[in-house]
Chain A
Amino acid sequence: MTEQGSGLVQVRGVDKVFTRGSERIHVLGGLDLTVPEGEFLALMGPSGSGKSTLLNLIGGLDRPTKGTVAVAGQRIDNLSDRNLAAWRARHVGLVFQFYNLMPVLSAERNVELPLLLTKLNKKARHQHVETALSVVGLQERSRHYPRQLSGGEQQRVGIARAIVTDPTLLLCDEPTGDLDRKSSDGILELLTTLNRVQGKTIVMVTHDPHAAACATRTLHLDKGRLSMEAAA
């Protein structure tokens, strides 16, 4: 499974080693991964296997120790911090397990955050925010603060924030990990819609087979390697 040349995301021969004091932790070793455009990929694997680490490398939140990461034909592993930040703002939408909303900002102001980095004026930003909030079905709650929203609603705000800049790639780290069944289903339905209807490429880390079932493909990460099958 080395579809050279094609694929929105191309991870090639990636090692990731963390050094904590004198201790070296080899998390990923010689890892290859290609994510074609329009795919909804689920990443599973035991805790500590490096799923979040891999997602961070794809999203440009961290750099590989060795190997290359390219998104939409552009190498991102060798960009400077500044350029990488600009790249993230343009190309990636991030959804986190614990939502990571700013508690001091209302839903709409949270969703607006990534737009502050663009040249859009206030009016245009407002329009984008409205659209994103209506996609996740929360335009009625735009003035509410995170603490006034349920977990599922907060995650919807998180998703609205991730899609408001219309990014190429949506990266979700256990987006339903903190939610009950009903709220999870709502979130998964939303992600599926974004993938099928809007054609968003999604990489989702999850522990939940039910969530993985929504994806078009599932890969398992274990001992630094990817495989189609869950390790027995």
Chain B
Amino acid sequence: MKYLGLIWSNLKRKKLRTILTVLSILVAFVLFGYLAALRMAFNQGVEVVGLDRLVVRHKVSIIQLLPESYEIKMERIQGVEDATFATWFGGNYKDPRNFFAKMPVKHEEFLEMFPEYLLTDEERRAWLDTRTGAIVGRATADRFGWKVGDRIPIEPDIWRLKDSEGAWEFDLVGIYDGAEKGTDTTSFFFRQDYFHESRRYGEGQVGWYWVKISEPERASEIAALIDQEFANSPAETKTEPEGAFAQGFANQAGNVGFILTAILGAVFFTILLVVGNTMAQAVRERTRELGTLKALGFTHRAVSALVLAESLVIALLGGLAGLGLAWIQITAGGDPSGGMLPFFYFAPRDLLIGVALALMLGVVAGLWPASQAQRLQIAEAMRR
């Protein structure tokens, strides 16, 4: 600790250079924070889904519909506990930019299969009693200031009403919370019976099925059995674990994880060069002073440790400030896309990774200059 003053004084020697270096590290770590949150946004849906749920969709594409009659057939397959369907509704609330997912579901089976959506008993009962009832996640309710009892109009873009070109109207009966931090609370669910009797076309057709299985370790076997059941029918199926399904959804935006990692890699490589250069310069300028320290009795190792410590302090100053700033902004600002990225947050795990990265940056950038300082021979250094 008594050397901290010495390290600090050295940092103040070239204030501007130190500040610029720290700032460039800070910027890199703010970027890290945002990219980590972004990656979380794309992957979280994948990480939090149940292992005991499969998704059955049309073999050709997710847009293709499946017969409603598949439900009973699936439920007869050994290992399938329950099957329930949903459909992508699309539609807009006032403005196409107000994006959130809207799906008709078989409400009772749905709530059973997705225990991570938390409703009060009263809200559950209200949904059972209201044909036009809908529930929505806390995030979306907060976003638009909705309260239970509100009437929510949705302009259709896929599913028209039988008797009108106008908007579908839903009665908001519940606002659900997520059981976990990563649980999606943006989606809007309404009753399939109301949907089926009010839509203009598509009778007997649904979007996809969720299948609950009793033994998650048999998931791929059961998935194969389901696809076999509907092989050679007009609507063949493709069954995947829910995680893979969500991942496929995310992958439509390109291999996001890879792109983000590549950007981060490039940024950190650059920062490594910046910090490494700063430290190498610092050692070169101070050859005589480092030699003097050794002459006074500082060991080779102590002098190289001082250099390494300086590099670490720079990296940690910039790194922690950057992570802190990113954390504040992401927490306060939230999802920058206005609803497209419901899981946009800075996870504690990523924060830890960030701190580890800062430490690594300090060590790696300081390694070469520190070894230069270590090798410095006193008599040589003092002659310069």
Contacts and interface: CB of A to CB of B under 8 A. Distances in A.
B289 interface: yes
A226 interface: no
Interface stretch (A37-45, A88-96, A129-137, A193-201): A88-96
A116 B3 contact: yes
Contacts of B12: 104
Contacts of B6: 102, 105, 109, 113, 116
Contacts of B294: 85
Nearest to B296: A114
B378 A62 contact: yes
Contacts of A86: 297, 299
B289 A116 contact: no
B2 interface: yes
A89 B9 CA distance: 22
A213 interface: no
Given A61-B378, A102-B9, A90 B2 contact: no
Contacts of B5: 109
Contacts of A103: 13, 289
Contacts of B299: 81-82, 85-86
B10 A104 contact: yes
A82 B298 CA distance: 9
Interface string A39-53: 000000000000001
A53 B293 CA distance: 18
A103 B285 CA distance: 12
A85 B2 CA distance: 19
B372 interface: no
Nearest to B379: A62
A96 B9 contact: no
Interface string B343-384: 000000000000000000000000000000000011100100
A139 interface: no
B293 A61 contact: no
Interface string B1-33: 011011001101100000000000000000000
A90 B12 CA distance: 30
A94 B295 contact: yes
A112 B298 CA distance: 13
Contacts of B277: none
Interface in B271-309: 288-289, 292-301
Given A104-B9, A109-B5, A116-B3, A85 B298 contact: yes
A74 to B, nearest CB: 15
A100 B288 contact: yes
Contacts of B289: 100, 102-103
Nearest to A106: B9
A94 B296 contact: yes
A117 interface: yes
B379 A117 contact: no
Contacts of A56: 378-379
A122 interface: yes
- Most chain A beta-carbon neighbours within 10 Å: one of B3, B6, B295, B300: B295
B370 to A, nearest CB: 16
B279 to A, nearest CB: 16
Interface string A15-35: 000000000000000000000
Nearest to A62: B379
Contacts of B378: 56, 61-62
Contacts of B3: 116
Contacts of A122: 2
A13 B368 CA distance: 39
Contact of B297 (A62, A89, A96, A104): A89
Contacts of B377: 62
A105 B296 contact: no
A133 to B, nearest CB: 17
A140 B293 CA distance: 25
- Most chain A beta-carbon neighbours within 10 Å: one of B6, B10, B288: B6
Nearest to A122: B2
A94 B378 CA distance: 13
A114 B12 CA distance: 21
Interface string A98-125: 0010111100010001101100001000
B5 to A, nearest CB: 7
Contacts of A85: 294, 297-300
Contacts of B379: 53, 56, 61-62
A114 B382 contact: no
Nearest to A91: B297
A221 to B, nearest CB: 17
A53 B380 CA distance: 11
Interface in B300-337: 300-301
Contacts of A114: 296-297
A53 B377 CA distance: 14
Nearest to A145: B9
- Most chain A beta-carbon neighbours within 10 Å: one of B3, B10, B296, B300: B296
A81 B297 CA distance: 10
A117 B13 CA distance: 23
Contacts of A87: 297
B299 to A, nearest CB: 4
9 contacts: A85-B297, A85-B299, A85-B300, A100-B288, A100-B295, A103-B13, A104-B12, A114-B296, A117-B297
Q: List 7 tightest A-B contacts by C-beta distance, closest first.
A: A89-B297, A104-B9, A100-B292, A88-B297, A85-B299, A62-B379, A61-B378
Given A96-B382, A114-B296, 13 more contacts: A81-B299, A82-B301, A85-B294, A85-B297, A89-B296, A96-B292, A100-B288, A100-B382, A102-B6, A102-B289, A104-B10, A113-B296, A161-B296
